[in-house]
Structure 1
Amino acid sequence: MGSAGVLTALGVIAAFASVIVVDPLFGTIRTEWEPFGELLQNYIVQPGFGLIAACYIWRRDDYNPLDRIQTPSVEGIAWIGLIPIGYEMAVRVVTPLLPILGLNHGAHDGTATWQVLLQHPEIIVPGLVIMFGVMAPMEEILYRGVVHDALEPAIGSPGRVVIGGLLFGVMHLFLSGGIVSMLLTSIFGVLAASAYERSKNLTVPIMAHAGHWLVFTAI
């Protein structure tokens, strides 16, 4: 279990490094192609996740999470829809309770990603490729394919789901909004980990994660 914590910490460190390295590049793209650059600015930490996942894969001879990117089953397709919808429903249930704990979940300002794509049809194809084919895979390969795998020798299936989901939330504690972000994204992490544990197919959390970005995330 300690190795999963170390991998999560390395992911956070690499994400901060990614901001330093990638942000100027995305800023240049934004200058030349503003709508696409605006979209990319939402995904400046994922290249860091991809780097840690790639290093893990390179060091392991007996396991490659890329082998678990497969065509989803009917159950997997159901999970792809359930994860983002279930997460948003959970957020709506939890948010009114946060003031009791002295916490507040601010509203997401901006236009939903799918609306931005419709407003700028020229970025639909590159935008979908970036979300579904690059950034979501980088994040899910690390936190489901790598961190989840690191938990397998130490704890059983329910423990992997809970601890893996919490580690996903801990990552967000440092990268995107403190305690509230950690609490809420842990819910997403548990849902994604449940789907991965059931399916052993990384396509399921990848598609669900990118789908959530597309439908619910504001730019």
Structure 2
Amino acid sequence: METQSDVAKPDTGVREVVRSVGGAVSLAALGVIVAFVSIVVVVDPLFAIIESEWTLFGELLDNFIVQPGFGLVAVCYIWWRDNYNPLDRIQMPSVEGVAWIGLIPIGYEMAVQAVTPVLPTLGLSHGAHSGTVKWRVFFDHPEIILPGLVVMFAVMAPMEEILYRGVVHDALEPAIGSLGRVLVGGLLFGGMHLFLSGGIVSLLLTSILGVLAAGSYEQTQNLTVPIMAHAGHWLMFVPF
């Protein structure tokens, strides 16, 4: 005989999943909104001043106009969740973590190369990988190597990964299993690029990167892994 509590359990589970996913979607959407606002109010004017004084470094910063908004949302979430701090999960990576750091950018680029030839059959195209990658710019302009690496590895990649892995992933954790967290978190990461980078192709490809990054975080519980992999991808493959 079913008791009242037995009947209520499935509904409770569904509500928890809906609440968890809804919270993660809201945080991801808030990151996009705050990024747009911060670009207009703070980032563009500040980066323009820097570019007027140091052109090449300012051009580098122009690639990272959305991350400060992500960082602000992450900080507010950490302040609100005073019993959880994703910064505690920034640790020295293990051997497995180091393997993930190398696998993510290389695996993502392999996926891009595999998917790109199929896109024209769908009426789509992808040209974001043309241009000069950052390590070549650093090689030609060694004076920006140190500030450039600090910006990518110690500032911008942490802001993005703390939001999408440390915060959004955390919002999914109470009610969704490991695979669900990886897939939903990866898709939310891709969805952000639909608005900020533009287009279905950007959504598709960055979702692949998001799933890889989320998988590495789920496996290692170490934010250093997706942070280093994300910044490493920028360094090796993304045009200046």
- TM-score range (shorter-chain normalised) is over 0.9
Q: 1:134 to 1:107 in 2, by over 3 A?
A: closer
- Give the unaligned 5+ runs of structure 1: none
In structure 2, stretches of 5+ residues that fail to align are: 1-20
What SS class does the counterpart of residue 201 from structure 1 fall into? coil
The one of 177, 198, 201 equivalent to 2:198 is 177
1:13-92 to 2 correspondence within 5 Å?
13-20=33-40, 21-92=42-113
Is contact 2:128–2:239 with CA below 8 Å preserved after alignment?
no
Shift of 1:108: 3.1
Structure 2 residue aligned with 1:186? 207
2:183 — aligned with what?
Answer: 162
RMSD over aligned CA atoms reads 0.8
Deviation of the 1:104 alpha carbon: 1.1
Q: Secondary structure at the match of 2:46?
A: helix
In the alignment, is residue 104 of structure 1 matched against residue 125 of structure 2?
yes
Q: CA deviation at 1:148?
A: 0.5
Q: Which moved more, 1:102-111 or 1:155-164?
A: 102-111
SS in 1 for 2:132: coil
Shift of 1:107: 4.4
1:31, distance to aligned residue in structure 2 (A): 1.3
Of stretches 10-19 and 74-83 in structure 1, the one that deviates more from structure 2 is: 10-19
Structure 1 pair 107–133 and aligned structure 2 pair: CA distance change class (3 A): closer
Q: Work out the CA distance in 1 between the residues paired with 2:57 and 2:131.
A: 15
Task: Report SS of the residue matched to 2:127.
Answer: coil
For 1:93, the equivalent position in structure 2 comes to 114
Instruction: State the one-letter code of the partner of 1:25.
Output: L
Q: Secondary structure at the match of 1:176?
A: helix
User: 2:22 aligned with 1:2, yes or no?
Assistant: yes
Q: Distance in 2 between matches of 1:112 and 1:169?
A: 22
TM-score, normalised to structure 2, is 0.90
Query: 1:26-71, CA deviations, whole angstroms, 9 ceiling, x for partnerless residues?
Result: 1111111011111000001000000000000000122100000000
Large movers: runs of 4+ above 6 Å: none
Q: Distance in 2 between matches of 1:185 and 1:94?
A: 12
Cα distance in structure 1, aligned partners of 2:238 and 2:109: 11
Q: Which residue of 2 aligns with 1:218?
A: 239
Give the number of the structure whose alpha-carbon radius of gyration is greater. Answer: 2
The one-character-per-residue Cα deviations of 1:116-138 (angstroms, maximum 9, x if unpaired) are 11111111111100000000000
Q: Percent identity between the aligned chains?
A: 76
Structure 2: how far apart are the matches of 1:106 and 1:135? 23
Deviation at 1:173, TM superposition (A): 0.3
- Which residue matches 1:124? 145
